[in-house]
Amino acid sequence: MATMIPAVSWLRACWTLLVCCLLTPGVQGQEFLLRVEPQNPVLPAGGSLLVNCSTDCPSAKQVTLETSLSKELVDNGTGWAAFWVSNVTGNSRILCSGYCNGLQIIGSTDITVYRLPERVELAPLPPWQPVGQNLTLHCQVEGGSPRTSLTVVLLRWEEELSRQPAVEELTEVTATVLASRGDHGAHFSCRTELDLRLQGLRLLVNTSAPRRLRTFALPVTPPRLVAPRFLEVETSCPVDCTVEGLFPASEAQVHLALGDQVLNETVTNHGDMLTATATATARADQEGARQIICNVTLGGERLEARENLTVFNFGGPILNLSEPSAPEGSTVIASCMAGARVHVTLDGVPAAAPGQPAQLQLNTTENDDGRSFFCSATLEVDGEFLHRNSSVQLRVLYGPQIDRAKCPQHLKWKDKTRQVLQCHARGNPSPQLRCLKEGSSQEVPLGTPTLSPSYWRCLRPWAW
């Protein structure tokens, strides 16, 4: 019975026979090689190269290049042939073959094709990153070969954060950093390195577009808002809002408002402290309970402070006299009034109710000239009592009169002596007083030493 040969042994035997058939005539004691130059070349994708097939066999024939790549015979001669191989897009093995003494000889080499990644991209960074929190960087690399020589590096400026091999055709590498204040404004990028230095080439680098990081820090305490408790209609007051521990303070947005009225603020910053100031002016339609609001926005986060403010309308007091200048013996009415919720008191006499006027009636005499009337107004605003006062002075007109005790009607002086004439008169308006020599229009000055005539008489004063 015939012996069964295992299938594996049979294949091995066939392979050995094939190799023996392709060997150079070494079996005859003479061995010639078919050389392929250059050996193991490295090309960029789509590149071209000149391949030379040569042998030392003196009877070499039919030297050619076996490849599926695009080739063109450049030149040939005894024992050699040169070919131009173009558009090499992938790793390939090429064979040179020929015949020596009737036996086939071959040589081979491997072409390695390299290409830079088609895409190197750092994923977008968050608009703002809180200080003290981890930030994960993501870099995507697509394409690139040979992969065994391709490395992905994540960078902060030029500082290496991570270095990892690119294994898959589409590779994503990550690195995590703890965001700090020093990272504000820092540029992060992703770089690929194709290291072909062992193949006699250089290190090929491809870098993504950089991305800028903005970091921020907020204080644990809210803004400090300084504003008055009360504000009268059509009046203004300063408003201040201060925040400390804010980073970066220069990039924070601040808004001040009185209710729904936006205020025009002025913002200053010193280090981590920010101050906003504005002037609030109350309108009539804002009367009542309102709020002063301070909003500070940074990094998509908002800090807010509110203070209650009551807008009030005092409106007075207004104090009037029916006749500010009244003749003696006439009737004068003093009236004081104020706003709807204001309680007024005129010379100690209160009005019947808030918003009602207070009045006094006076029959004028000479003694009332220069009399002052006082009106006090009180308004309750949010549990606080606000006070205002007003006054007015009455003028009573009365005729001129001479005080006979101070101005005798007749005087007798020794002739040709120096005398001082004293005489006073009262009245409103103030009267003019003239003293004349009896029976003459000659006037003598008052209060000034003068040479006395024989006889003087003081005339009744008059006013104009």
Per-residue pLDDT tens over the stretch 172-220: 999 999 999 999 999 999 999 999 999 889 999 999 999 999 999 999 9
Query: Pick from 99, 114, 129: which residue ends a domain?
Result: 114
Same domain, 201 and 246: no
- 134 inside domain: yes
pLDDT attached to residue 446: 75
Confidence band, pLDDT 50/70/90 cuts, at residue 77: very high
- 43 inside domain: yes
Instruction: Give the range among 15-19, 47-51, 181-185, 216-220 with minimum mean pLDDT.
Output: 15-19
Same domain, 124 and 198: yes
Confidence band, pLDDT 50/70/90 cuts, at residue 440: low
Query: Pick from 359, 380, 398: which residue ends a domain?
Result: 398
How far apart (Å, rounded) are the C-alpha atoms in residues 336 and 316?
Answer: 9
Q: Which residues contact 136 (CB under 8 A, 6 or more apart)?
A: 174, 175, 176
Given 3-state DSSP classes, what are the helix, strand and coil percentages for the chain, each rounded to the nearest 5? 10, 55, 35
- 12 inside domain: no
Query: Of 458 and 326, which is predicted with more confidence?
Result: 326
How far apart (Å, rounded) are the C-alpha atoms in residues 90 and 411?
Answer: 146
Confidence band, pLDDT 50/70/90 cuts, at residue 462: very low
Average pLDDT (4-17) is 35
pLDDT attached to residue 445: 76
C-beta atoms surrounding 335 within 10 Å = 18
Number of domains in the chain: 5
pLDDT attached to residue 438: 67
pLDDT attached to residue 454: 52
- 67 inside domain: yes
Same domain, 235 and 195: no
N residues, the chain: 464
- 269 inside domain: yes
Confidence band, pLDDT 50/70/90 cuts, at residue 452: low
What's the longest Cα–Cα distance across the chain? 197
- 14 inside domain: no
Which of 30, 22, 48, 214 is closest to 135 using CA atoms? 214
The beta-carbon contacts of 435-438 under 8 Å, at least 24 apart in sequence, are 435/459
Same domain, 362 and 426: no
Find the CATH number of the domain harbouring 267: 2.60.40.10
pLDDT digits over 24-45, tens only? 344 332 489 999 999 999 999 9
- Asked if residues 335 and 323 have their Cβ atoms less than 8 Å apart, the reply is no
Same domain, 123 and 208: yes
Query: Of 441 and 379, which is predicted with more confidence?
Result: 379
Per the rule left: phi > 0, alpha: psi between -120 and 50, beta: everything else, 59 is alpha
Q: Is the pLDDT of residue 23 over 60?
A: no
Same domain, 92 and 133: no
- Asked if residues 144 and 118 have their Cβ atoms less than 8 Å apart, the reply is yes
pLDDT attached to residue 20: 41
Q: Where is mean pLDDT largest: 6-10, 251-255, 427-431, 455-459?
A: 251-255
pLDDT digits over 315-326, tens only? 889 999 999 999
Same domain, 212 and 125: yes
- 24 inside domain: no
Query: Pick from 114, 134, 161: which residue ends a domain?
Result: 114
CA trace torsion 66, 71, 77, 79 (10° rounding): -20
Show the domain range for 88.
Answer: 34-114
How far apart (Å, rounded) are the C-alpha atoms in residues 441 and 439?
Answer: 7
